[in-house]
Homo-oligomer: A and B are copies of this chain.
Amino acid sequence: MLKQQDRLDPLFQAFADTTRRAMVDRLSKGPASVSELAEPLAMSLSAVVQHLQVLEAGGLVSSQKVGRVRTCRLEPLAMGTAETWIADRLCAWEQRLDRLAEFLAEDRDPDRANDHPRQRSTS
């Protein structure tokens, strides 16, 4: 099982631009063609297509062409991968705070010091 950590760079890169986030926001309301995506954006169609490539490289968006129109849709799994990465670190941060609070509680109430074996300063 290969780590997909390698794919996180282009994934987060895809989010790091206002225009691309606007496109993701649009696609969260449902699939859209390239020109529908471009319509509210103040730039050339060509630029939009390039942003689309960045979004696809990040795995955030997939698309398929039918006739002459390319329909784009959001990839919720990739969205979830990004969200989870952040949530995991927030969780670790909070757990550390919990342990800190526990440690401080033991200092206040030494009788409970043995609940969780832990070194305490004896100086």
Contact = CB atoms under 8 A, between A and B. Distances in A.
**A12, A74, A96 — most chain B CB neighbours (10 Å):** A12
A94 B74 CA distance: 11
| Interface size class of chain A, counting residues whose CB lies under 8 Å from the partner chain | 20 to 34
Contact of A89 (B5, B24, B96): B24
A28 B92 CA distance: 6
Interface stretch (A37-45, A62-70, A78-86, A108-116): A78-86
B18 A5 contact: yes
Contact of A16 (B12, B79, B87, B90): B12
Contacts of A9: 16-18
Contact of A86 (B17, B30, B83): B83
A93 B27 CA distance: 8
Interface string A42-65: 000000000000000000000000
A118 interface: no
A83 B90 contact: yes
A23 to B, nearest CB: 11
Given A27-B93, A74-B93, A80-B90, 6 more contacts: A8-B15, A8-B21, A12-B12, A28-B90, A83-B90, A86-B86
